[in-house]
Structure formats: structure tokens, C-alpha cells
Amino acid sequence: MSAEKTNQSWGGRFSEPVDAFVARFTASVDFDKRLYRHDIMGSIAHATMLEQAGVLSIAERDAIIDGLTQIQAEIEAGQFDWRVDLEDVHMNIEARLTDRIGITGKKLHTGRSRNDQVATDIRLWLRDEIDAILAEITRLQQGLLAQAEQHAEVIMPGFTHLQTAQPVSFGHHLLAWFEMLSRDHERLVDCRKRVNRMPLGSAALAGTTYPIQREITCRLLGFEAIGGNSLDGVSDRDFAIEFCAAASLAMMHLSRFSEELVLWTSAQFNFIELPDRFCTGSSIMPQKKNPDVPELVRGKSGRVFGALTGLLTLMKGQPLAYNKDNQEDKEPLFDAADTLRDSLRAFADMVPAIRPRVEVMREAARRGFSTATDLADYLVRKGLPFRDCHEIVGHAVKYGVQSGKDLAEMSLDELRQFSDQITDDVFAVLTLEGSVNARNHIGGTAPAQVRAAVARGKALLAAR
């Protein structure tokens, strides 16, 4: 039975057509058609190389490139007929090319296989996705820097175990997220280097007998290096797994950030206000203003973690070289990239619009004996061992709990009942401003250090 009767490019070997359900079950065109632009880009580079290698004539090359360019226009105009019986994006485009330009279209596949073709397409696509994600990280970081600079003097409670620990600058707190995102950016930049290696030319698994010149396609497609082993080139997806690992770390950071925003917008904290456009209401409770964007981002982190686990599981049992299993690499990878990019975009839009409730934050910092460590440090400077100071301040805090007074609200006589080393200069360190300003070193929460960190951050972003 002919290939035409089976509707398959490989039908010559088969004596009956593929079962209709199996055709739908094994087809990937419904999701891999989003690779069309990169598939056409790779095909144009491949045709250009084949002409330079003497495999195609100039006229054949030009016909192929013109046909592919018109097909891309058809797709982008919504006029392309995607066929499930042609399985995937590659065969759909090749079949349409043959329809348009005749037998010359069938020559495009000379010296390559769908195995190295799809591996190339995914890398080209992911390279562009990483670039878009990096741009969103930078945009979010710019918003954090602007907020930190504006609110360097705003004081809030810093927490450990979600208990009041020490007062910090609100700007300093926001810059913690800036640092995490900087590492996320670094990881993705590094990941991109390994994504940007070209498998095209590996063919099905062993290379090709045609006189291809891989250096040409590498240059045309902007790859940094050529894959050194054809078996590896068509079969491994570690670059996709690495991306999902980096994406998972970034989503973990966004999820933690989301949790804080959810807490801070609650009536119990009331630290910040989010604009209405990033929130929704309740269908039954008219007073509600729900922080849906942070909540959804917190939830979406699980999708990306799942993509990472799914790809690791997909690859762990595969022998060399290509296996049909690898068709399952695209949907989790696509979803992870989409989810991370959209989550970053939402945060980049939202963070500059956050409005801190300055007095509420300050009042919260006054509760919980947040300057207790400052009192201990004060006593250390008076010559007492830190462990003794820790115990002394512990007694003072116990007294404060019983009397309902913060350390800064106690009189000098009240404080001196715990140590005669305490004198009237103690109140300078017990104020919130005194506590924050005392931590005036690189990485500290003093407003001067916050502004210096903002300047460093701006320089970092400018250098990208």
C-alpha cells in the first residue's frame, strides 16, 4: 500500500493505514504547532546549507525558502490547515511546502531526520522563551528597586518563625526578593548556554552520508556550539529539565513572595494595599477584597514543580537514542515556560503599585520587643558577656509582658532593675530608628545601606 493511502510520510513499509484512534493518540500537532516559526527558521537554514554543500541548486533553495516564508504567513494569518494525520508540525509544514512548490519540497528533508529537527526546534523555541523570561525578571527587579528606594526609611517588623524578631526597613525587605531574582536570572542565563547547542545534523541518530556543513547552520541559527555526538543530540532533553529546575526555583521564590503579600493584605496584618485591578471580590461577602494574583501564583508553582518531576521521570528509563516517549517532553516544558513568564509579568505589573501602610507597619514593629537584641548588644558594649546579656534581656522582656510595656516604654529605673550597667544612653538604641540605623554595613538594614544596595542593583541591571 502506498504512503499516500496511509497519509504518512513513512507509509511505504506498511500494508495498512494506522488506526484512526492511534493516529490521534500518537499525533503531537495539536501542541507542537506552536513551534512552527522555529521549525521554519531551522528549515530555511538547512536549505541554505544544502545549497552551499552542493546538494540543492540555487533555484531549489530559493523555491524552498520562498515557499516556507509563504507558509509562515499562512499560519500567522490563521489560514493554515493543520492535519492530525500528518502527526506533527514538521510533516504538516513539509506537506504544505510540497503542495506549493512540487517535488522540490520533498528535497528539504535531505540529510536530516525529524529526530534532530525537533531537537533543534525545541532549543530554538526555548532560547527565545528564556530571553523573554529574563526580560520579565529584570522588569520585576526594576519595580522592587523603585519601591525600595522610595521606602528605605519605612520601618516594619522583621520576622523569624513568623514571630516579631527585629525591626527592618521595608525597602531592605523588598531587596531580599531582588537578590533571589538575581540568582534566578543568573541560573537562566547559564541554562541558556547549554540550550544554545545545535543538534541539527545528527539526523536520526548516526549522522548522515550527505556532505553537510554543520558550521553553516550553526552560524545561521545563532547557536553557540555544535553538538558533538549524534546519539546524544537527538535523544537527551537535559536542557529542558535544567530549564524546568531553574524555573521551579524562580517559582518557589515567587510563591514565597506571594505568601507574604497574602499575609500582608489580610486584616490581621494590614501592612500593604494592592490596587483593585490585581484583586477580586466575593460572590457572597461584599466586604471581601481577595489577593487573587499572589494566591494564583502561589498555586501555579506546583505546575512548574510537576513539569520538572514529569520530565525527569520521562527520561530516566530511556535507552539511546530517540524514543517516542520524548513526544511527551513538550507539553510540560511549554506549560512551565508559559507559567513562569506569566507569573513574572503579573508581579512586574503589580509590585510597583503596592502601597505600604507605613503607620501600621511601624506600630507592628513596636510590638513584640523587636529591639531586645539591641539591648543585649548595648550591654555587651558595656563589657558583659553576651550570654549574660541574653539572660538579662530575657528577664526584662518577661517584665514587659507582665506590665504590658515595650522595652522603649520602660523608665530608666525599670530597666536598671535588670542591670546597673544600663544608663540613660540606652534609649538611643531602643528606638526603632536607632535599631535600624545601627546595622550600617553591607547587606544591613540601615537606610543608608538600602540606598547603596539600590544603587548596586541599578548598576547590575544596566550591565545586562
Q: Which CATH number belongs to the domain containing residue 104 in this structure?
A: 1.10.275.10
Same domain membership, residue 436 and residue 309: no
What is the pTM (predicted TM-score) of this model? 0.92
Same domain membership, residue 396 and residue 375: yes
Same domain membership, residue 291 and residue 375: no
Q: Which domain holds residue 70?
A: 19-110
Q: Which residue, of 338, 362, 386, is where some domain finishes?
A: 362
Same domain membership, residue 331 and residue 417: no
pLDDT at 88: 96
Of 12-26, 43-57, 191-205, the range with the lowest mean pLDDT is 12-26
Residue 329 in this model has a pLDDT that exceeds 50: yes
pLDDT at 283: 73
pLDDT at 286: 64
Same domain membership, residue 292 and residue 239: yes
Q: Which residue, of 78, 93, 110, is where some domain finishes?
A: 110
How many domains is the chain partitioned into structurally?
3
pLDDT at 1: 36
Same domain membership, residue 149 and residue 87: no
Residue 360 in this model has a pLDDT that exceeds 60: yes
Average pLDDT over every residue of 257-273: 96
Kindly report the average pLDDT of the chain as a whole number. 94
Would you name the residues annotated as active-site residues?
161, 282
Task: Provide the residue type at 263 as one letter.
Answer: L
Average pLDDT over every residue of 227-238: 98
Same domain membership, residue 198 and residue 329: yes
Q: Which residue, of 63, 89, 110, is where some domain finishes?
A: 110
Same domain membership, residue 237 and residue 94: no
Residue 247 in this model has a pLDDT that exceeds 80: yes
Q: Is residue 1 part of a domain?
A: no
Same domain membership, residue 123 and residue 100: no
Task: Provide the residue type at 51 as one letter.
Answer: E
Cα–Cα distance measured from residue 356 to residue 241, given in angstroms and rounded to the nearest whole number: 38
Same domain membership, residue 69 and residue 29: yes
pLDDT at 322: 95
Residue 71 in this model has a pLDDT that exceeds 80: yes
Average pLDDT over every residue of 161-166: 92
Average pLDDT over every residue of 185-199: 98
Question: Above pLDDT 70, what percent of the chain?
Answer: 97
